[in-house]
Chains A and B, each alone.
Chain A
């Protein structure tokens, strides 16, 4: 085919299309600005904004695995909350073993204890994810109703196992010494742990983005979300890829569990299932299967929850659901709907 036979010409995206694609990126800054106007006190606003970002990023960590698992294999995993709870309890156990490190005034010892707790949680929930996928999810591929039922069942079993191992009561989790208390920034009181959570969340998001954009595995995941059949036709085993993604998603949920446990300073067997409401809201707002959408959705939910708790505590309970309804009325398939091959 010669150059003269076909003159290559790209279909240029219209200004409207470009704006439509970029609009969701503006939502979080717009919400932060609206929060500043409504709260009217910059110091309070800064405190709430950092709290909102920390909360949003922790939810993002938990939700990212769920959304990719759905995008890649159309699997609705209601058992995802089990990994959050198990992660929190494993993290608590490791921190309890390392009490000497967490009570040590040296920052490095405190951080080492937290990172070891995170690593142990991710390892346990990753392996648990492998077993969950093989035993519970694999037999019900392609059957959404069965997936909901069996993954809910898996969640209940996991919660009961937590009761057996750690007991039925809520457990207090003490933050390491250097993550307790607050710092004053521009007259705003900001909890040190929230800054730590924001840092971990951002590093994870950037790492995840790098993997998805710049590595072959990332390309395969993105391609698989769009058209798994074609990925197989190119010679890749998508089931194996899915298994890896499921394990990583479970491990991230475990990491989210540790972070959330330290944030709330209390953990329970049902904390994961309680959080699933927020996690599903974030995944739906973002567009099922979209990491970028999930990230923006999580920030919106985190910021809105914190602003509304300050401005109108009674409304705060329904604010995130109202946000989801609003987004779906604007974009029925979420902020960044994943285009599935037909």
Chain B
């Protein structure tokens, strides 16, 4: 793969006494959506948190656009062009939707064209601009979390299970929105348990198990091979669809 955007080589991460990541090797090419799959507890969220600098790797190398970022403070990683949408969405419930967006606009003023595009992508952002984010529904909070991540152009967005706990109609809408986002220059690294969403969006896929990447390849290949799904995931992915 020529000149990937992000590479993890032999990354180990401990949380307290627990050895969560045990030598993760991951390559995220430029552009498109790379999906990270795996069972609960496989280390997917920890991988994203380690990339974002929220957890310090105990060993290994993380390179973003050729630059070493492993162990770099989180704000510096963010300013390098990586946005993060955590599993709990990280929405500030005491702040209004507008204030949440304002904090994400680190350059100060909003880019009017970009803001209009985001409001068209996620209509609740415009509708509830003045409302406290804590009063939004789960789906609306998820939209705010993604909208906040893209309010300024980012080179890489890490999104952790955007479909978690959402109604099917919202998941479909979110898939469509991420599909539109995929058409921009932004690269997305998506952690997802919903295989339908993952296969609809993903270009490449890495499967994790026990803190390691056990498979990396094209999403289309995994989507079309039930046997491979069964072998890699330990259960039929059909049940997730």
Interface residues of A (CB under 8 A from B): 1-3, 5-6, 8-11, 13, 216, 219-220, 222-223, 225-227, 229-238, 338-339, 341-342
Confirm or deny: B74 has a beta carbon within 8 angstroms of a beta carbon on chain A.
Answer: yes
Chain A residue with minimal CB distance to B92?
A223
Confirm or deny: B153 has a beta carbon within 8 angstroms of a beta carbon on chain A.
Answer: no
Tell me the B113-151 residues at the A interface (CB within 8 Å): 120-124, 127-128, 131, 134-137, 139-140, 143, 148
Whether B123 contacts A226 by the Cβ 8 Å rule is no
Whether A6 contacts B170 by the Cβ 8 Å rule is yes
Whether B136 contacts A10 by the Cβ 8 Å rule is yes
Whether A10 contacts B135 by the Cβ 8 Å rule is yes
The number of chain B residues touching the other chain, given as a range, is: 35 or more
Whether A10 contacts B128 by the Cβ 8 Å rule is yes
Chain B residue with minimal CB distance to A213?
B99
Given B123, B139, B180, which contacts A3 in the complex, CB threshold below 8 Å? B123
Given A3, A6, A219, A339, which contacts B102 in the complex, CB threshold below 8 Å? A219
Whether A342 contacts B88 by the Cβ 8 Å rule is yes
Whether B137 contacts A9 by the Cβ 8 Å rule is yes
List of 8 A-B pairs having minimum Cβ-Cβ separation, nearest first: A230-B90, A235-B78, A8-B124, A8-B127, A232-B74, A1-B177, A5-B173, A223-B92
**Sample of 5 A–B contacts (CB below 8 Å):** A6-B124, A10-B137, A219-B102, A219-B103, A338-B94
Main secondary structure of the interface of A (DSSP, over half): loop
Q: With both chains docked as a complex, state the minimum distance between the C-beta of B32 and any C-beta of chain A, in angstroms.
A: 20
Whether A235 contacts B106 by the Cβ 8 Å rule is yes
Whether B54 contacts A229 by the Cβ 8 Å rule is yes
Confirm or deny: B176 has a beta carbon within 8 angstroms of a beta carbon on chain A.
Answer: yes
Chain B residue with minimal CB distance to A231?
B103
Whether A1 contacts B92 by the Cβ 8 Å rule is no
Chain A residue with minimal CB distance to B170?
A6
Chain A residue with minimal CB distance to B167?
A6
**Beyond A216-B102, A222-B95, A235-B75, 11 extra complex contacts between A and B, CB < 8 Å:** A1-B174, A3-B123, A8-B127, A10-B137, A13-B135, A219-B99, A232-B78, A233-B83, A234-B148, A236-B103, A341-B88
Residues of A within 8 A of B134 (CB): 339
Residues of B within 8 A of A238 (CB): 75
Whether B92 contacts A232 by the Cβ 8 Å rule is no
Chain A residue with minimal CB distance to B90?
A230
